[in-house]
Structure 1
Amino acid sequence: MTTPNDENQSGDPLEGLDFEPSKEAFDVDEPVAEASEPVVEMTELDKAQAESADRLNDLQRLNAEYVNFSKRAKREQEAARARGVEDVLVSLLPVLDDVYRARQAGDLTGPFEAISEKLTGALSRFGVETYGEVGEEFDPAKHEALMHQTSAEAESTTVQHVVEVGYRIGDRVVRAARVAVVGPEA
């Protein structure tokens, strides 16, 4: 048995001592750095797969951009078409009003009647509709009341006389019908 004072042959002064370190000696308040992942070289296949995934992401993004562009272009094209039809209709309103008045007076006969029918048919292909008839319920969103009378017999406000018919394209009113109305007494 050796004692601490004895010279040991390895030269280690702690050799042979019954020494067990305490747990407190290893408790440290600082966090222990975790081992970093080992550096792994990418193989050619891994590189190709990563590049392929990047290209696929780029392609999907470009495809989504194209689909959005296509939808937006179609909406803009439809809006431009609607504006064009509306512009043509607005420029033809004086002519259409004259045709309406001639029809009401019974002066629209012969070839002029055929021309009137062709014009009306052409406009209807583009969604142009006329409205405003005697007896219709008055709607301030669709009618412009130029004159208003009251009557004890009237139950609601209705169109009594159409001065100029109204025109709409679909649900959009291009020109309100100009009318004279009759309503109940207050």
Structure 2
Amino acid sequence: MTKTSPFFVCKLQDIQYADIDYMERQLDFTLSPHFAGLPALVNKIREEGMRFILILDPAISANETDYLAFTRALEKDVFIKWPNTDDIIYAKVWPDLPNVIVNDSLDWDTQVEIYRAYTAFPDFFRNSTTEWWTREIAEVYDNPRNASQSLKFDGIWIDMNEPSSFVNGAVGGCRNQELNFPPYVPL
């Protein structure tokens, strides 16, 4: 439907969103085998005038053996590091560790401690990070290794765009112990 007035033109469209489940184990820039038909669905709905939005959570798993996004991020030196070192600050968010089955009977904190992978956060104040991020997104759109897995999205929903962690701060806490136990508790 198009509405016209002297001041604006607005076209309303249907939009389909995909949450993190389309990814392989919630690894950014991947497609789960369970969603192998998603690229064809995206193409179909776009042909019908709808739009498609993908989610990304910029927490990159560091516990993988063959994860190009992490490997290329290391090569480009894009991750947030501890001050005055080359040590990456790790947290735990998504995904779970590879090849595990989560015991859902355990409480949330125990599940996070046992089953979540270490993740690293891109430092978007670096030009190299912007270049890396742009490349990874472009490869989701036009997959150079398997064109049938290209996701022709119309927009990206960047969720948890701040460094979020399911553990208190970084894995292992802050290196400055005083910061782990401040003299007051923020409300």
Query: What is the TM-score of this pair, normalised by structure 2?
Result: 0.25
Q: Which has the larger radius of gyration?
A: 1
Query: What is the TM-score of this pair, normalised by structure 1?
Result: 0.25
Relative to total residues, which structure has the larger helix share, 1 or 2? 1
